[in-house]
Structure 1
């Protein structure tokens, strides 16, 4: 027969047992997190892949509004300075007139050779290519738009004073059938309204803006005869060179057929959504937009990726436009890329490259 005191002791023990299991469970979680944290620190600071990952992170942060977080990747100061130098002072080459493409040696005529001329299939004004690339540690998707007639490409600019225009607003105002973002703009804390572009802006042969205090940007211009020019030019120089429309950004990707990023580390510019404008030797204008910051869809691309992507497609002149949440492409009034902006229509922009 149990005494009353033993019964009470057992009830108290039963009441304490659940708390014992909770304490053990919490201790197990704490030990697991501690182990994972230690393994993470060993990976990030004790392996080659970990160091590369921290460099990628630093480069990505340095090209955003949150560059002040870059030191928290705990890279040596010299490495951070090197990454910043590559971003703020990229190599610049002024594009040159390479002339028309050369042809091979002529084939001697043969008396028994009958030549039949087949009608050429007319080129479509706009063709769009899907981009889907996996680099192992990251992946990206996007679109490349080919415009066969460079004379149909123009810069459109906002006429608003309080803010810029969304890409679909530019389309509604101008009737553009293809369009991508162009200039960068003041964007404090990510709330910029795109009213004024950085750097030079030339629209229909008129200088709307010269280089402002945020100088050092590289110019990209399209001449009246449809040639893309890029380099360290002033607005006045560009107008004298016959440029009809121009904007500023950086870096150059391809100049005179030379891949400006070949053999260079990609980490300085990080992985981001990207926009680039280029031209093939036959005059075709190329718009490229890569989505980013969207795990499960597209992480983003490096500048090396953009230069390589365009070089593989025969582009001989190309330069990056503003990237990040500004990167977006529309075709026939519909978005065909996926913006990383919280707003599905993208961001307010000071200008854009459009096809008419």
Structure 2
């Protein structure tokens, strides 16, 4: 009987009221999220590793059409300073002089090869051109508008090609017709927006097949016998040594196109895909420098990158351009020909008032 009463008392005893448990169980996830966010913010802004990562993201934004967003990471004044610092550093790197020797025997090897490459966070390709004299700068053929690299290759009968130099792209809405700096093709200065005695960063090849990169006056380029050249920067390998000293100076993570030369005269074009999570995010210039130093490059310089980066061979796009709208329309390209001596490049800009085309204030 006592046992029955005891069981009844247990059965009739009310459960602890829910209010005794409080609302803590609901708050726990929010507290956890707050702690994680606070800890992440402290790491992001207050530690050396977090600050380095924050500036890496800012540099990545600086090279994209979302440059202004970088101010939310480092502030507007620091953003302006960072852009100026890069521009000044690139100019300094462009003034480092080459004194290496390129062995240019009779280049009967006309092989043009593509090698797939892969690294941490990126995928890309290297185009090898064993005879540097097979390379020419080709320009758009459309008055008032740039041209896609694939169309340039098909139109001219080229073996292969990559995107070329800088162009004015106000608000990243330009049509690719107006170059920035200079354009040389076949030994002729086709375009310049600077004076003949004003130095500008260039990437190109002289009449002997030797790569030329750095900061030169247009008058110097003509005297040096430069055959084909466009404007871009920086030059980052000189005399077989890298000028970019660390990942933090690698100008962010982005799609890349760069040009280099080996001691035997072979020209390498590196094209890295980017802005495609799950496939290839992109690479820093420090990454590209490491790739090219491992290949034995004695000279290397950066070309236009981002959504401009394109590699074409045998009338096919080899890489994966980052723009969802397809290949960009560009003013210049480096194309490879079986018979470069037959290539006659007209001056598409001759007689055109280029002030009609808005210029960009962005140096990159």
Q: Verify the 8 A CA contact 1:266 1:303 in the aligned structure 2.
A: no
Match for residue 311 of structure 2?
A: 329
Match for residue 69 of structure 2?
A: 69
Q: Post-superposition shift, 1:94?
A: 5.2
Q: Post-superposition shift, 1:280?
A: 0.7
Change (3 A) 1:100 1:49: closer
Q: Verify the 8 A CA contact 2:251 2:284 in the aligned structure 1.
A: yes
Aligned-partner SS, 2:113 = strand
TM-score (norm 2): 0.77
Please give the alpha-carbon distance, in whole angstroms, between the structure 2 residues aligned to 1:199 and 1:26: 61
Match for residue 272 of structure 2?
A: 290
Q: Verify the 8 A CA contact 2:263 2:297 in the aligned structure 1.
A: yes
Q: Verify the 8 A CA contact 1:273 1:292 in the aligned structure 2.
A: yes
Q: Verify the 8 A CA contact 1:65 1:188 in the aligned structure 2.
A: no
Aligned-partner SS, 1:129 = strand
Match for residue 17 of structure 2?
A: none
Q: How much is the aligned-residue C-alpha RMSD, in angstroms?
A: 2.6
The correspondence of residues 8-157 of structure 1 with structure 2, limited to 5 A, is 30-31=30-31, 33-74=33-74, 81-82=81-82, 84-90=84-90, 91-93=93-95, 95-96=97-98, 98-99=100-101, 123=109, 125-134=111-120, 139-157=121-139
Change (3 A) 1:100 1:199: closer
Please give the alpha-carbon distance, in whole angstroms, between the structure 2 residues aligned to 1:248 and 1:351: 10
Q: Post-superposition shift, 1:53?
A: 1.2
Q: Post-superposition shift, 1:96?
A: 3.7
Please give the alpha-carbon distance, in whole angstroms, between the structure 1 residues aligned to 2:273 and 2:297: 20
Please give the alpha-carbon distance, in whole angstroms, between the structure 2 residues aligned to 1:27 and 1:195: 58
The correspondence of residues 191-230 of structure 1 with structure 2, limited to 5 A, is 191-212=173-194, 217-230=200-213
TM-score (norm 1): 0.78
Q: Which blocks of at least 5 consecutive residues in structure 2 are unaligned?
A: 1-22, 338-364
Query: What do the CA deviations read for 1:272-307 (whole angstroms, capped 9, x no partner)?
Result: 111001111101011110111111111111111111
Q: Post-superposition shift, 1:46?
A: 3.5
Change (3 A) 1:265 1:343: same
Query: What do the CA deviations read for 1:218-267 (whole angstroms, capped 9, x no partner)?
Result: 11221122111112112221121111111110010212222111x24534
- Structure 1 outlier segments of 4+, above 6 Å: 23-29
Q: Which blocks of at least 5 consecutive residues in structure 1 are unaligned?
A: 1-22, 102-121
Which 10-residue stretch deviates more, 267-276 or 81-90? 81-90
Q: Post-superposition shift, 1:208?
A: 1.2
**1:181 and 2:169 equivalent?**
no
Q: Post-superposition shift, 1:172?
A: 1.6
Q: Post-superposition shift, 1:192?
A: 1.6
Match for residue 235 of structure 2?
A: 252
Please give the alpha-carbon distance, in whole angstroms, between the structure 1 residues aligned to 2:155 and 2:262: 29
**1:269 and 2:251 equivalent?**
yes
What is the count of residue pairs matched by the alignment? 307
Match for residue 7 of structure 1?
A: none
Please give the alpha-carbon distance, in whole angstroms, between the structure 1 residues aligned to 2:199 and 2:29: 52
Match for residue 349 of structure 1?
A: 330
Q: Verify the 8 A CA contact 1:202 1:235 in the aligned structure 2.
A: no
Aligned-partner SS, 1:89 = helix
